[in-house]
Structure 1
Amino acid sequence: MFSKIFSSKTLPSDAKQTLVDSLNRYRSENFPQGILYPDIDPEITLEKGNDIVIKLSLPFPCNSEIQLLTEMLTKEVKQTVRFDVKYNVKPVRRHELLGIKNIIAIASGKGGVGKSTTAVNLAYALIAEGASVGILDADIYGPSVPTLLGLKGAKPSSDDGKLLTPINANGLSAMSLGFLVDEDDATVWRGPMASRAFSQLLNETDWQGIDYLIVDMPPGTGDIQLTLSQQVPVAASVVITTPQDIALADAIKGIAMFEQVKVPVLGIIENMSYHQCENCGHQSHLFGEGGGQRVANKYDTQLLGQLPLDVSIRRDADQGVSPLLTDNTSNISEQYRKIARTIAAQLYLQLDSRSPNTAKLLIED
């Protein structure tokens, strides 16, 4: 297999074999079968300056992992190793939505658990890992994405008079009803009208070929959630909760709703999981402990991560910036990036072979 993938110029045979052995041996949570999947065929060349360049195409973004692998291989062969990686993200579900490969619904059973903040930061984390990403603010009654992105007052344009061009927020394509109405105006709409507004935002925006669309769902299990699950081929959902019993009870309702309409629940993120003292490092579980893991175990899903109650997250959100933009190597940023890598990998590993699923919910009297 490997006889054809090397430049035959001057790369020493022992260096070649070391690279082959290392690539074959590498395993991680996101690459349980190794980074060289049966359908992944790398090309290894020696460039000017004696840098070894490994070119390969991967099915999901994982820049952080590639960086670790680069450092490991450079140390092993005692020669500079660089990766030239192309991420070839494919749709998990077949659909006819133009410009979007995969839709991920970020949901919660109740408000106040940090869902929107988490959705925005996960979107930026996916970008940091190498993906092209959009975010759709589906909270028609209380859109918060414009504030979280620092884009209050921004207005989308239209190049063709038919599709809206999403607002570019540091590489993130964003759309929200908050861009289309005045900030202080109340959206006093009945459910069907709100659902139509959501459908228009989704279908009448030029998403421009993004790998992932993060949909920041409104809290609860109402009309918008049903519209999304009935009409849109959602690749997966992620449920946000806090460890508090009252939040967990509502998170369970959210999981049950997605199961009923046959939208896969990829996992749970436990937000405000703990507070860590800046001085001594002690962790205090202000809202309880272990709730997210118990719910994940009960519903046969996974706990994707436990995010801290941290003043920097609140401060960044109020200022309309993301920690992924201010310092993407910080501990907080790395936690978001780890969750993002897991989401991207699990979409590929667990859902790639499943058939399309758009379900209708039957409500009986």
Structure 2
Amino acid sequence: MASTPATDVPQDAPEHCPGTGSEDAGKANACAGCPNQSICATGPKGPDPDLPRITERLSTVRRKILILSGKGGVGKSTFTASLGFALAHDPTDADDTADNIDATDATPVSQVGVVDIDVCGPSIPKIMGLENEQIHQTMAGWSPVYVQDNLAVMSIGFMLPDKDAAVIWRGPKKNGLIKQFLRDVEWAQLDYLLVDTPPGTTDEHLSIVEYLKGSNIDGAIIVTTPQEVALQDVRKEINFCRKVKVPILGIVENMSGFVCPGCKGESLIFAPTTGGGRRLAEETQVPFLGSIPLDPRIGKACDSGVSFLEEYPDSPATTAFQDIVQKIKTRLP
């Protein structure tokens, strides 16, 4: 009996890979030793029937950006929230509509959505001041939770019975929820959809890339800190993006130094022993977007659920972040 033709063979897959859509996926001799063997063996075969629905649902979203980190604890979710706040106050370059007019000054502003796919550690609701909010369902689907009229958020944090509840799920269940966030949420017209991902290159990352395949990912921003232990994981994240063909908008170095709120003096806390994010960007030929210094008030703003950029506009960290936002915008298609 002839074997099923190979379909959807990933880049750099083992020799004679049958393809992820094949009936032999994860079962063929060539699959032995492949890190994705168990996923391919147990996952659904053939095209996902929900992909066209996701593409249709996100057809009104102009730009989709992944926020990646490689390593946990580098401030990825804080960066995502700050980027959401910054873009929501940014004038839109889309056609003016009644939905994107700021009532205070009649200036067209960008419509921004943030989707938190860090299923086991959802911190976006706390950081963005939405900790006690809940999801509502309408005829059009799930309604995201709004920070303000033009800034919407979706996270599993809104679905937990209490803030200390642990999410103990295997991959397929987590992937199913991510699919619901894209397929069933009524995002409406958006200029930007920011995807806050968990650390590493896990099931969640593979799933979000697969689900957004039909509607395109405009780019990924990789967040790191200066020390080599973080940069090691960032190298893996860069390779991941290249293998799955996600454009990299650039690297952001977070916590690059401590800025005293009083004297404005800066001290290195995490010394860049191998050159930090800038050197890594040069080595890997990835754009370097900039460095954000430490400011103790950033943690205070996150705990309070407010925008650090608005609360402390004179901070060197705010200035650095705003410069990074402008660079991101210039690199977007």
- Counterpart of 1:189 in structure 2 is 169
Choose the corresponding residue for 2:145, options 145, 167, 181.
167
Task: State the Cα distance separating 1:185 from its structure 2 match.
Answer: 1.7
- Counterpart of 2:83 in structure 1 is 122
Gaps of 5+ in 2: 1-54, 92-109
8 Å CA contact retained: 1:126, 1:337: no
Superposition pairs of residues 216-255 of structure 1, within 5 angstroms: 216-232=196-212, 233-255=216-238
Give deviations 1:146-182, integer Å, cap 9, x for gaps: 100111120121231x511111102311000111112
8 Å CA contact retained: 1:128, 1:324: no
Give deviations 1:89-135, integer Å, cap 9, x for gaps: xxxxxx53243111100011111000000000011111222222110
Secondary structure at 2:138 match in 1:
coil
Secondary structure at 1:202 match in 2:
helix
Aligned residue pair count:
253
Task: State the Cα distance separating 1:279 from its structure 2 match.
Answer: 4.0
Determine the C-alpha separation between the residues in 2 that align with 1:248 and 1:223.
Answer: 21
Give deviations 1:256-294, integer Å, cap 9, x for gaps: 111110001110010000112334433211111331011
Superposition pairs of residues 15-54 of structure 1, within 5 angstroms: none
- Counterpart of 2:132 in structure 1 is 153
Root-mean-square deviation over aligned CA pairs: 1.5
Superposition pairs of residues 48-127 of structure 1, within 5 angstroms: 96=56, 97-127=58-88
Task: State the Cα distance separating 1:334 from its structure 2 match.
Answer: 3.1
Determine the C-alpha separation between the residues in 2 that align with 1:331 and 1:158.
Answer: 41
- Counterpart of 1:66 in structure 2 is none
- Counterpart of 2:37 in structure 1 is none
- Counterpart of 2:309 in structure 1 is 324
TM-score normalised by L of structure 2:
0.73
Gaps of 5+ in 1: 1-94, 349-365
Q: Which amino acid aligns with 2:124?
A: V
Task: State the Cα distance separating 1:231 from its structure 2 match.
Answer: 2.4
8 Å CA contact retained: 2:260, 2:295: no
Which stretches of structure 1, 4 residues or longer, exceed 4 Å deviation after superposition?
A: 327-330
8 Å CA contact retained: 2:261, 2:295: no
8 Å CA contact retained: 2:261, 2:315: no
Answering whether residue 255 of structure 2 is matched by residue 275 of structure 1, we say: no
- Counterpart of 2:282 in structure 1 is 297
Give deviations 1:295-332, integer Å, cap 9, x for gaps: 11111111112011110111100111112332446543
Kindly tell me: are residues 288 and 98 of structure 1, through their superposed partners in 2, closer, same or farther at Cα, counting changes over 3 Å? same
Secondary structure at 2:255 match in 1:
coil
Task: State the Cα distance separating 1:202 from its structure 2 match.
Answer: 1.8
Identity between Structure 1 and Structure 2 (%): 38
8 Å CA contact retained: 1:128, 1:337: no
Task: State the Cα distance separating 1:339 from its structure 2 match.
Answer: 1.4
Determine the C-alpha separation between the residues in 1 that align with 2:308 and 2:164.
Answer: 27
Give deviations 1:216-264, integer Å, cap 9, x for gaps: 0011100010011122121100000000110010111111111110001
- Counterpart of 2:326 in structure 1 is 341
Q: Which amino acid aligns with 2:302?
A: A
Task: State the Cα distance separating 1:184 from its structure 2 match.
Answer: 2.0
Answering whether residue 267 of structure 2 is matched by residue 284 of structure 1, we say: yes
